[in-house]
Amino acid sequence: MDDLTLLRDLYDAPPPSREVISGGAARLAAAYAQEAEPVRPVGRSRPTRRSARARASRWGALGVGLLGAAAAMAVVIGGSGTPEPKPVLSASQILLAAADSVATMPQDGKYWVRSGVNGREQRDPTGAYTIRSERSIEIWLPRAAGQKTWVIRQDLGAKPATPADDAAWRAAGSPASWTFPGTTPALTLTTGPGERDALRDTTGKTLTLLNTPMTPETLSRLPTTPEGLRGYLEKVVTKAYGAERVDMNAQLFETGSRLIMNLPTSPEVRAATYRMLAALPGTTAQGAAADPLGRVGQAVSRPAGPGAEYRLVVDTATGQPLALESSIGQNRSFEAVKRAGWTDEEPDLPARRADMNRPTR
């Protein structure tokens, strides 16, 4: 069975209600009817000096989001009977439509649970083809203080990224594993899935944003206006990078996207985050697009430095983010959310368990 098919079977969330879909459709129709906003010219991004580690895919990043219905491009029938496409939404209109669609999620339950898939595409050690590797991550965050937080992980295996890569892989003898030098220990990827394991944490600091712990108290105090949220996130970025020169708008796009994807924030904070993203210069619309798991949403992107780009795919009908993708040259990574919300379920813990930041036993 294909990895992506397996993931959809295991983690698909229930579809949104009819009311949510109809409300989102009405908001999209209103946005389409508006005259497209003028796009500001994109200035050259200042080169960032982020380290390779900072630019690499963050396997441990954790997120929040719910699957919604796939957004579709609307068409109208002209007088000749020929379908005519509606104007494409601007990046600002996409993000504002998502902000307007944010709905209150149920707040009852013992755990806030989130499951998703992180992935990375990179050239094989010989440089002949591209490999796509994936890992599933679940986080079970208890509501009650003093309870264990569980992070359940599993490497899902690696495989050639495209049919052309598959042909090159077969020509190379169809290796079942790849070892990448330059790290200690050396990174090895295999075609088969790994064993599930779980990390337990009692510190209450599992969730972070650019290494800033996002505790329940911190989350409850987040600003609920776009301006206030921007000011808060600028401080988070400045603290993380210190005197290092960064493109602040690019960092706000990435950090704001991770905030709505990775943390159990309130609807007011999620809406304010979308509106802050909508106000950032340099963001462009890509229209209807499939995320790395094949789900269709509306995509917006912006430069992240020389040869680098971020792309956020959202379901504008529900206001839920589907995936955040980043690319640096030929290396690509993504975080895709499968399920998030409060539940009274208990985690299905694997036999292999360890304390956070300690060897798995």
Reported as a single tens digit per residue, the pLDDT across 86-123 is 567 999 999 999 999 987 777 789 999 999 999 999 99
d(CA 298, CA 285): 8
Top-confidence residue, 25 or 122: 122
* pLDDT class of 182 with cuts at 50, 70, 90: confident
Of these ranges, 36-45, 61-70, 204-213, 275-284, the one predicted with the greatest mean pLDDT is: 275-284
d(CA 118, CA 60): 9
Residue 4: pLDDT over 70 = no
Which structure tokens are listed for 276? 């802050």
Q: Tell me if the pTM is above 0.75.
A: no
pLDDT of 231: 97
Is there a contact between 346 and 360 (Cβ–Cβ < 8 Å)?
A: no
pLDDT of 342: 86
Angle, vertex CA 32, rays to CA 253 and CA 73, nearest 5: 85
Residue ranges of alpha helices (H) inside 172-310 are 216-220, 226-241, 248-262, 267-279
Nearest one of 153, 155, 139, 151 to 187, comparing CA atoms: 155
The DSSP code sequence of 44-94 is: PPPPP---HHHHS--TT--------PPP---EEE-TTS-EEEPPPPPHHHH
- The dihedral through the CA atoms of 270, 144, 149, 8 has a sign that is negative
* pLDDT class of 84 with cuts at 50, 70, 90: low
d(CA 198, CA 151): 5
- Domain-by-domain residue ranges, the chain? 3-38+46-355
* pLDDT class of 290 with cuts at 50, 70, 90: very high
Lowest-confidence segment of 77-86, 119-128, 131-140, 151-160 by average pLDDT: 77-86
Alpha-carbon distances of 259 from 165, 282, 316, rounded to whole Å: 34, 20, 17
Mean predicted confidence (pLDDT) in 220-244 = 96
Reported as a single tens digit per residue, the pLDDT across 292-323 is 999 999 999 999 988 899 999 999 998 999 99
d(CA 115, CA 63): 8
Top-confidence residue, 225 or 21: 225
pLDDT of 183: 80
